[in-house]
Amino acid sequence: MIKRFFCLLIFILICFETNSAEIIREDHLFNQGVGARPLAMGNAFTGVADDINAVFYNPAGIASIDKFSLLGLSSKRMMDVDASTLLSAWPTETWGTFAFGTTALIVPSIALAGYDPVENKVYKAGDAFYEERLWLLGWGRRINEDISLGLNLKSYTIGFSTNVDTYDSYRARGYDVDIGFLWKLNWRLSLGIMWQNAASTLSKSGGLEWSTGSIERFDGGPRVG
């Protein structure tokens, strides 16, 4: 009976994920994935989620963190893109375990071109600065020895600014929510489900609002491991 229930549950989640095709913006900031172990395991880590990386894979796993934890990452991506992540997690006696952190992608200098019709040549007109940043507050709590629940509250900012009058500057702000569930069936088997960007995919209330007035919803849906 239990096996039938979970087969039906996973089928329903896959259907929901398929129907989320109209969501147009990939949440690549949140999908960076910072730990070597969860990166190697892929989505399977959603069903394990036993360290601070659970913030990115299944917030229910935050409940398993029993001491203060800190995670930091800084790297240089292609085309001079600076990537950084800083996360901390701390358990409490009554309210479960909390996590707080930020992750960002920054391009500090983008050369902008101008065109001189008299000289018929292209020249450097100035520079632009681009930044995407995510602030995250996570929470996880054990319901009993086998079941944990978790939640991520996420705030996003995107900015493109320039010192050239002929180029416009843009900004966007938004939010979204992740919901996590983790069930340890026995000592070697567990089931994890994270519904990523639930505000965008379920209620159409999350996402980004640009300074131009346009709105983008985040891609997301269920992740099962």
**C-alpha–C-alpha distance, residues 135 and 154, integer Å:** 6
Domains: count for the chain: 1
- 36 φ, ψ (degrees, to nearest 5): -65, -40
pLDDT at position 77:
74
pLDDT > 70? residue 28: no
pLDDT > 60? residue 114: yes
Mean pLDDT to the nearest integer, 61-80: 86
**C-alpha–C-alpha distance, residues 4 and 72, integer Å:** 41
Q: Supply the range of the domain harboring residue 18.
A: 2-224
pLDDT at position 73:
85
pTM: 0.79
**C-alpha–C-alpha distance, residues 160 and 138, integer Å:** 28
Average pLDDT of the chain is 80
Tokens of 210: 């640009």
Q: Say which range, 76-90, 103-117, 197-211, has the weakest mean pLDDT.
A: 103-117
